[in-house]
Amino acid sequence: MDATRHQRFLMCRPTYFAVDYAINPWMDPTAPVDVDLAIRQWEQLRQTYRDLGHAVEEITPLPGLPDMVFAANGGTVLGGRAMAAQFRAPQRADEAPAYRAWFEAAGFEVHHPKHVNEGEGDILLAGGHLLAGTGFRTAHPAHAQLQEVFGYPVLTMQLVDPRFYHLDTALTVLDEHTIAYLPEAFSPGSQAVLRRLFPDAVLASMADAAVLGLNAVSDGQHVVLPAQATGLAAQLRERGYQTIGIDLSELRKAGGGPKCCTLRLLQGGE
């Protein structure tokens, strides 16, 4: 495999995973969750990355923070800089200092957020731009700070469907120039921007998005996505990607999939 495709990821074992509160429409605190199964499914995701040659680093999970498994929300890392997260929900607030400490120990130049921003859940590098979600979690003023910190043009993406509350539930970056997304998850203006920037994008169906199929991780060649998103997988194979389906049924009960569990530690220039 082409060594340039190898990536560096941060993950957090779901040791203390639970659905104790509801901060998105996927979460039902009365429904049972099998933590052991969640851990086994997460281990399979980690193994898949390792088999693909990617480096997986881990942050120590903390008790009382059941959503800490969703490492993508811990911050945004690009070119040696880390923008720390500031969570909207008080239940997740204590995750922010834990991730910040990890970034500091790992040697990143850490920037402190002035506004709510939920890291790579809402901020994705694609086509030389930072696409930045807002509407449910990340506050719009955070976008300007991201542009100052990273020096990439930031494009605001207005999310309109509460089921797709983070950008990474509605849009997947496939490679430097290609994305897949669910048009209906975005405002008309944001849809127009996406059409203009990515005329060849893969347009996902609601059926695939509704199993969090767009919460996928691509290295430009292989796409790791929820096993249930069979239609999207077929679309991606038609475009020449190799797809790897992973069952994260337990973590989906919290509204998360493979991408949510994965923070990319991007070098810049990608």
Question: Based on CB atoms, which residue is closest to ligand ARG, 4 or 28?
Answer: 28
- Name the one residue in this structure whose structure tokens are 């797709």: 164
Among positions 103, 124, 168, 265, the unique one binding ligand ARG when judged by CB under 6 A:
168
Q: What angle do CA 73, 179, 50 make, to 5 degrees?
A: 60
Residues ≥6 apart with Cβ < 8 Å to 40: none
Among positions 166, 222, 252, 253, the unique one binding ligand ARG when judged by CB under 6 A:
166
At 110, list the tokens: 């850490």
Asked if 210 and 182 count as a contact pair (C-beta separation under 8 A), the reply is no
Among positions 72, 123, 171, 224, the unique one binding ligand ARG when judged by CB under 6 A:
72
- φ, ψ at 217 (rounded to 5°): -125, 120
Residue 260 known to be catalytic: yes
Report in angstroms how near the CB of residue 196 gets to ligand ARG at its nearest: 25
Q: Does 116 bind ligand ARG (CB under 6 A)?
A: no
- Name the one residue in this structure whose structure tokens are 């002035």: 114
Report in angstroms how near the CB of residue 67 gets to ligand ARG at its nearest: 4
Among positions 11, 23, 201, 225, the unique one binding ligand ARG when judged by CB under 6 A:
23
Site string for ligand ARG, 231-260 (x = CB under 6 A): -----------------------xxx---x
Q: Does 96 bind ligand ARG (CB under 6 A)?
A: no
Choose, from 54, 111, 222, 260, the residue flagged as catalytic.
Answer: 260
Report in angstroms how near the CB of residue 265 gets to ligand ARG at its nearest: 15
Q: Across the beta sheet with 154-158, what order do the strands follow?
A: 123-126, 129-134, 154-158
C-beta neighbour count of 67 within 10 angstroms: 27
Residue 261 known to be catalytic: no
Report in angstroms how near the CB of residue 177 gets to ligand ARG at its nearest: 23
Choose, from 166, 177, 222, 261, the residue flagged as catalytic.
Answer: 166
List beta partners, residue 83.
76, 111
Cα separation, 42 vs 33, whole angstroms:
14
List beta partners, residue 244.
224
Cα separation, 54 vs 56, whole angstroms:
6
* Residues lying near ligand ARG in the complex (CB under 6 A): 23-24, 27, 67, 70, 72-73, 92, 121, 166, 168-169, 254-256, 260
> Which residues does the annotation mark as catalytic?
166, 260
